[in-house]
Structure 1
Amino acid sequence: MTIELPGAIAAYFSADKQGDTRAISDCFTQDAIVVDEGNTYTGRDAIRQWIANASTQYTYTAEPFALAEEGGRTIVTSHLVGNFPGSPVDLRYFFVLQDDKIAELEIVP
């Protein structure tokens, strides 16, 4: 099933698929916040480093398959398959958008 993601979110998943850490970080506002695996990353430089670390530790593919809105957040559910513990897994990505950029992202199982 194909879903139509908002522009910044589509760009995020596209850049992630390509492994392009700079393009991923460019999807975010300058002071964006990412929360993943209990860690918080603030600002594009920290987000770029988070992605770079994740991509050196694991290889994976992410396939978004569901889209919802809740409390001002866009929720994308994605199927991840890779060489990480617990693979495969469906993760929920909670996005807050601001001016066609990602201002906040929280990733949870």
Structure 2
Amino acid sequence: MPIELPPPIAAYVAANARLDLDGMLKPFAHDAVFIDNGKRFAGEAAIRQLFEDEVMPVKAIFAPDTVRDEEGDVIVEGPAHGDFPGSPLRFTYRFTLVNGTIKTLETTV
């Protein structure tokens, strides 16, 4: 049974499943911050570069299987698979949504 995700998160996950770089960026606020295992990427250009360098080459696709609200953030967990060592790895994504956009996304393994 598919899980219900807020629209910007659902759009991000769907675009990631297609490896659609522009679609993955679209739900983010222009001044969004992406924290990837402690490394901080601020703004659209930095997040685009992260996706170009880390997601697209290894075809990393996140497949969420749980979602919950925690202190106003949306926590989404599930495996990511692709052409990288240890695939699939289980990730936790912490989304902060503001005005229908992703303001902050923090990922941890």
Asked if these proteins are the same fold (TM beyond 0.5), I'd say: yes
- Kindly indicate whether residue 32 of structure 2 is the aligned counterpart of residue 32 of structure 1: yes
Name 1:13's counterpart in structure 2: 13
1:21-100 matches, within 5 Å, as 21-100=21-100
Indicate the structure with greater strand content.
Answer: 1
Counterpart code for 1:34: F
Unaligned runs of 5+ in 1: none
Q: Which moved more, 1:20-29 or 1:55-64?
A: 55-64
Alpha-carbon spacing, 1:13–1:56, altered in 2? closer, same or farther (3 Å):
closer
How many residue pairs match? The answer is 109
1:84 Cα offset (Å): 1.1
1:107 Cα offset (Å): 0.3
TM-score, structure 2 as length reference: 0.92
1:21 Cα offset (Å): 1.3
Q: Which secondary structure state, in structure 2, belongs to the residue aligned with residue 85 of structure 1? A: coil
Q: Percent identity?
A: 35
TM-score, structure 1 as length reference: 0.92
Q: CA RMSD in A?
A: 1.2
CA distance in 1, matches of 2:29, 2:60: 25
